[in-house]
């Protein structure tokens, strides 16, 4: 009897760890996303070398392109997260699994740190590959490649920054904790406000730098009013704050 119970608990632990392990398909999509970003970096580097010596103005343009991509990615991550949290469902094409994952995340926030990186990032990695590849193939402009690569790269890894914001500090690599402290990537002190009532803000997950501004100017409330007027669809946060959004486990 005791042996049977032990077997059942070992099997349930195995099932649990399998649930959070990425599949080979998910790892392949993650690899495609990473490869696309690496091609952007390699091509822009080769273009700069081919054009050298480049003047100080070009270096300013390249630095600004990287910074604009980083700041815009925080805003982009917030708009994506807001849309996923508020509209569609499991049956929505392409994004259905993401919508379900984000809904589950509000109820079981700590589960995100049990998943491996490819399992968390594979959908956005696939989107990155499809969106960035045409620029890699067609563009010969290093500044444009840096801008697109920076934006796409930070959006792609925003879900990893989100997972790190939920990770206990003692389990974070030192460099990650330092980047969070410096506000370069999303700290828990910023993201925690997304998991508290009224569950209608703090969606940005790259650095979170936009969160306060968007909240103060009620950007997402205005966007929800526009969506309602144009499509007649109400955001989920208006009707389901008690069930879908509240945390039920650590």
Residues lying near Zn ion in the complex (CB under 5 A) are found at 85
* Distance in angstroms (rounded) separating the CA atoms of residues 163 and 170: 14
CB of 74 to Zn ion, least distance (A): 15
Q: Sign (positive/negative) of CA torsion 81, 82, 86, 92?
A: negative
- CB 152 within 8 Å of CB 146: no
Residue 96 to residue 99: CA distance in whole angstroms: 5
- Rounded least distance, CB 26 to Zn ion, Å: 20
Residue 136 or 237: which CB sits closer to Zn ion? 237
User: Side-chain half-sphere of 227: how many Cα atoms within 13 Å?
Assistant: 15
Length of the chain: 250
Q: Considering the complex, what minimum distance in angstroms separates the CB of residue 228 from Zn ion? A: 20
Is the CB of 192 or the CB of 233 nearer to Zn ion? 192
Cβ nearer to Zn ion, comparing 14 with 108: 108
Q: Under DSSP, is residue 106 helix (H, G, I), strand (E, B) or coil?
A: helix
Q: Which is nearer to Zn ion, 74 or 85 (CB)?
A: 85
Cα dihedral sign for 7, 9, 12, 18? negative
Least Å distance, CB 71 to Zn ion, is 21
- Which is nearer to Zn ion, 83 or 152 (by Cβ)? 83
Q: Which of 31, 54, 37, 29 is nearest to 148 (CA)?
A: 37
Q: Which is nearer to Zn ion, 43 or 81 (CB)?
A: 81
Minimum distance from CB of 94 to Zn ion (Å)?
A: 18
CA distance 197 to 195: 7
136's tokens? 């890699």
Question: Which residue's Cβ has the minimum distance to Zn ion?
Answer: 85
Asked if residue 132 lies in contact with residue 36, where contact means CB atoms within 8 angstroms, the answer is: yes
Q: Closest approach of Cβ 47 to Zn ion, in Å?
A: 38
């Amino acid at each position: 009897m005791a042996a049977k119970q032990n077997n059942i608990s070992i099997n349930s632990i195995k099932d649990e760890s399998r649930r959070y392990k990425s599949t080979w398909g998910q790892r392949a999509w993650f690899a495609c996303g990473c490869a696309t970003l690496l091609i952007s970096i390699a091509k822009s580097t080769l273009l700069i070398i081919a054009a050298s010596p480049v003047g100080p103005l070009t270096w300013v343009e390249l630095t600004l392109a990287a910074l604009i991509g980083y700041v815009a990615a925080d805003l982009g991550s917030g708009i994506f997260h807001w849309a996923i949290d508020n509209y569609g469902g499991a049956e929505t094409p392409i994004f259905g699994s993401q919508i379900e994952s984000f809904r589950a995340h509000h109820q079981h926030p700590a589960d995100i740190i049990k998943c491996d990186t490819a399992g968390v990032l594979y959908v956005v990695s696939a989107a990155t590959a499809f969106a960035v590849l045409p620029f890699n193939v067609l563009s010969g402009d290093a500044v444009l490649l840096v801008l697109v690569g920076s934006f796409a790269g930070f959006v792609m890894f925003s879900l990893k920054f989100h997972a790190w914001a939920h990770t206990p500090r003692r389990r974070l690599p030192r460099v990650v904790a330092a980047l969070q402290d410096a506000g370069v990537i999303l700290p828990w002190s910023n993201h925690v406000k997304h998991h508290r009532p009224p569950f209608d803000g703090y969606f940005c997950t790259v650095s979170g730098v936009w969160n306060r501004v968007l909240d103060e100017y009620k950007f997402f409330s205005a966007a929800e009013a526009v969506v309602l007027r144009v499509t007649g669809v109400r955001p989920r946060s208006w009707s389901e704050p008690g069930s879908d959004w509240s945390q039920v486990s650590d």
